[in-house]
Chains A and B, each alone.
Chain A
């Protein structure tokens, strides 16, 4: 499985953009990058995923570098409800399961 590396924790001011980095230097060409988040006492929640191109949805944007060795999740206008642990996951081809790491604990500061 391609491993991911994320900072343990980050802070972001409310209303600012939160940029969460992820390194996945051993990613294969047909592996997707997924982001999930887990708010306290809840199960993980899907945010976004991508293969090569940048992606945007109602929750966030995903920027993947051209060599695909790293990516950044962007929450454009962070709110207090965005405080959570954010997991960057590479999904192995032919393997249905998601392999979680320890993620980044994002705290939004009022």
Chain B
């Protein structure tokens, strides 16, 4: 595909359940980002990968959040023991290089609802 693909598009989880959100970046893109967007707010940075290396995870809200990109392409964001406050849209973005003037391409996100 031409763009960033995220799956599932919607996820409903019971409180305490583990969830895994998938991101397929644009082929060949080196950098990959995860963002969390609460209702009515702008996206908040979670973590950043350059190829398979996780260079910045300063935005992960707790140790229940874990992200990986083992082969430098597809990435998975895992949330363990989900809580109601985890309900949000989770956005993935990729960019071709890590240059500071490189633009990011975003997926449509996964909307997570924790009941």
Contact = CB atoms under 8 A, between A and B. Distances in A.
B107 A43 contact: yes
Given A43-B4, A46-B105, A97 B43 contact: no
Closest 8 interchain pairs by CB? A43-B106, A100-B42, A46-B103, A97-B45, A100-B43, A44-B106, A43-B91, A102-B42
What's the interface size class on B, roughly? 20 to 34
A93 B11 CA distance: 36
A87 B103 CA distance: 14
A94 interface: yes
Contacts of B107: 43
B108 interface: yes
B112 interface: no
A32 B100 contact: yes
B48 A96 contact: yes
A32 B101 contact: yes
B104 A46 contact: yes
30 contacts: A32-B100, A32-B101, A34-B103, A42-B108, A43-B4, A43-B91, A43-B93, A43-B107, A43-B109, A44-B106, A45-B106, A49-B101, A85-B42, A87-B42, A91-B100, A93-B100, A94-B100, A96-B31, A96-B33, A96-B50, A96-B55, A96-B56, A96-B98, A96-B100, A97-B48, A97-B56, A97-B59, A100-B43, A101-B42, A102-B42
B33 A97 contact: yes
Interface of B: 4, 31, 33, 35, 41-45, 48, 50, 55-56, 59, 91, 93, 95, 98, 100-101, 103-109
A99 interface: yes
B101 A44 contact: no
- For chain A, the bracket of interface size reads 20 to 34
A34 B42 CA distance: 15
A91 B33 CA distance: 15
B91 A99 contact: no
Interface string A26-44: 0000001010000001111
